[in-house]
Structure 1
Amino acid sequence: MRKFSIGYRTLKTAIGTAIAIAIAQYFNLDFNTSAGVLTILCIQPTKKKSLESAYTRLVSGIVGMLYAFMFFELFGYHPLALAGMLLLYIPTIVSLKVEDGFVSSAVIILHVYSAESFSMGLVYNELALMAIGFTTGIVINMHMGDIGKELEYYRVNVEELYRKIFKEIVSYLREGDTLWDGREIIEAVQALNTAKSLAFKDVENHFLRRENNYYVYFDMREKQLEIIERVLPKVTALPVIVQEADLVADFMEDLADNVHSGNTAYHFREKLELVKKEFAQLPLPKDHQEFLAQAALYQFIEEMDRYLEIKQSFEGLKVKNARTQ
């Protein structure tokens, strides 16, 4: 059984519904509870989606009233007339790309059907219900909770997972084998997916902002993770442990201790160049197994250079208590 909780969006929905119905009752509108229904449908996860929802429902509602007027006045207020109207109405709103407003417009259409007459008073009543319901939903949804703490939590979590992964790589390079099950890779994928979704939601809550720095950051980390997943087989399947492995292990250990949101990748790319030079000074492989091991390690450091290049293109996050090098 899931833990019982009342979320912020649930609270807004409850308050908004009550306000919309109260306003509709104050103006003595018929079908006043429908204002609450329209408010519920308009309260979406983000401000942008809330505005889009109001627009599609307003357009589909107006089109619905026009169809209701034509069909019911021509063919009478009969179930067959309603069925015929819907047969044409639904494809129309789909072609207009406002099909998401079908449920709310169906409410308006059924009001007309129930009234069994079409008058300007009914039109004003339905337009007033839509205005109250949509406006209340939009206004109540303009206040969104701050998700900065959640984004920061995922940043710290992802960086810690990367440190653990790098430490495991160090163990492979120095000991040749570990009992690591790769759990951190799966956790990092899940954390990045959730974090990017959360950051994108923040973008849709700011009309003048086209991107979120955290979204760019998590996208960068996702690209790095693809490289990590690609290079893991190169170090976990070394046929023998060679001298180069210690050099790479030292580098990876240093990198693991300095995973953060700032941008000092250029510093580690310089260190990686020194590792390459040290590679060149070591003796040539004695046999085919050593040759394969050295080749795999060289490919590994080339991939890690790409890993750092991706980070170097990122400006860095300005966060409190960020670790620096």
Structure 2
Amino acid sequence: MRIGFRTAKTVVAVVLAIYIANALHLKLAEFTGIVAALLLKNTRKETVVTAGKMAIAVLLTLAVDTLLFSLLGFHVYVIGLILLLLIPILVRTRTERGLLLGTVVTIHVYTAGHLDMDILLNEIWLILTGMTVSLTINWLYMPSRKERLLNIHRQLEMTVADVFDHFARALEEKDYLWDGAEILTIHNLIQQGKKEALLHEDNYITSDDVLRFHHFEIKEKQYERIKHMLALVSRVDQVIVQGKMLASILRKMSAALRSGEDDFHRIQEEIRALRETCEDMPLPKTRKEFEIRAALLQMLNELEGYILDAV
């Protein structure tokens, strides 16, 4: 059976936290293992935020424990009163994630049967030890998602290139049929890329990583243009010379995406040249030809917009 990366990290964190707590001669050292396990999150940012909230929750718990146990004594019903008072406080301070740790801390204090500075410091050191181990392990051993992001980006470019090739064939062949499955693939890849980019950003806060997420936001805008182009190409049910000229540009766009070379400036020039050429051509003779040429012109505008979105 293969052990996952997160599982391995959890095992190491729990064992190491307990080992360190024992080395520090802390009472109830095993509790540090629970703290360490609870704090191992998917990203460094989430781990730090959770650690902060749990630390505040534990301090609030110790304050409530000190107050009620001192006033009412060490009785089981006092634990219930502490939780009744503690829960709304944690919710109000948005630290309810620390309720489990707070409950365990309260039971520790109750089990001790008395309250003094040694007990309070012991609980604080238990929490700090578990948190420090988890934060350290997550900081040192967090897998990079750059390779995944690069793969998603490459798949996305290849799929868009396929779509442009399909558009070109539809303009060149009157009865060309295409199921449009790549359109859904593009949507799924963009959503997957945004998710991975956000996780990556929460682990490596640099301008480069922010740009990675922004890249997929741009792709989302371009996706809307591709969907519009799909609707437009479906209206072109005749092969005309302007359509063949646009198909040639679409194929060059596809080739640029496949090669990964930034050849878009030259394609922009060809788009402008084609627009000028179409303006100099004779006017449509029929309503049908007018509608087809109008759809082709809109496609040309969307293709230019697709390029400009990435600039």
TM-score, with length taken from structure 1: 0.89
Partner of 1:120: 117
| Structure 1 residue identity aligned to 2:305 | R
| Contact 2:109-2:115 within 8 A present in 1 as well | yes
Is structure 2 residue 44 aligned with structure 1 residue 47?
yes
Any conservation in 2 of the 1:65–1:109 contact (CA below 8 Å)?
A: yes
| Corresponding position of 1:21 | 18
Q: Identify the match of residue 153 of structure 1 among 151, 154, 176.
A: 151
Poorly superposed stretches of 4+, deviation over 6 Å: none
Deviates more, 1:123-132 or 1:81-90: 81-90
- Please, what is the CA RMSD of the aligned residues? 1.9
Residue 172 in 1 paired to residue 155 in 2?
A: no
CA distance in 2, matches of 1:210, 1:166: 29
Q: CA deviation at 1:88?
A: 2.3
- Structure 2: unaligned runs, 5 residues or longer: none
Aligned ranges for residues 78-97 of structure 1 at < 5 Å?
A: 78-97=75-94
Alignment of 1:133 with 2:130, yes or no, is yes
Aligned partner of 1:272: which letter?
I
Distance 1:231 1:119, change over 3 A: same
Query: Who is 1:319 aligned against?
Result: none
Q: For 2:208 and 2:114, locate their aligned partners in 1 and report how far apart those are by CA, in whole Å.
A: 48
Q: What is the rounded CA distance, in whole Å, between the counterparts of 1:97 and 1:291 in structure 2?
A: 62
Q: Residue 129 and residue 50 in structure 1: after superposition, are their counterparts in 2 closer, same or farther (change >3 A)? A: same
Q: 1:289 corresponds to which residue?
A: 288
Aligned-pair distance for 1:263? 4.2
- Out of 230, 234, 237, the position equivalent to 1:236 is 234
Q: Any conservation in 2 of the 1:46–1:201 contact (CA below 8 Å)?
A: yes
Where do residues 195-206 of structure 1 align in structure 2 (5 Å cutoff)? 195-206=193-204
1: distance between equivalents of 2:265 and 2:38? 50
Asked whether 1:100 is paired with 2:110, we answer no
Partner of 2:210: 212
Pairing of 1:203-282 with structure 2 (within 5 A): 203-207=201-205, 209=207, 211-259=209-257, 263-282=262-281
- Residue 58 of structure 1 corresponds to 55
SS at match of 1:258: helix
- Contact 2:33 2:130 survives alignment (8 Å): yes
Preserved contact between residue 232 and residue 296 of structure 2 (Cα < 8 Å): yes
SS of aligned partner of 1:118: coil
Matched to 2:49, the amino acid is E
Cα separation, 2, equivalents of 1:297 and 1:207: 43
Contact 2:197–2:213 under 8 Å retained in 1: yes
Sequence identity of aligned pairs in percent? 26
- In structure 1, C-alpha distance between the alignment counterparts of 2:2 and 2:103, rounded to whole Å: 32
Shift of 1:198: 1.5
Structure 1 residues 87-107: Cα deviation after superposition (integer angstroms, max 9, x where no partner): 221221222222222222222
Looking at secondary structure, tell me which structure has more helix per residue.
Answer: 2
TM-score by length of 2: 0.92
Question: 1:318 is matched with which residue?
Answer: none
Structure 1 letter corresponding to 2:6: R
Letter of the 1:106 counterpart? T
**C-alpha offsets along residues 121-160 of structure 1, whole Å, 9 cap, x if unaligned?**
2111101101110000001111222322222111111111
Contact 2:174/2:237, CA 8 A, preserved across alignment: no
Aligned residue type for 1:45: N
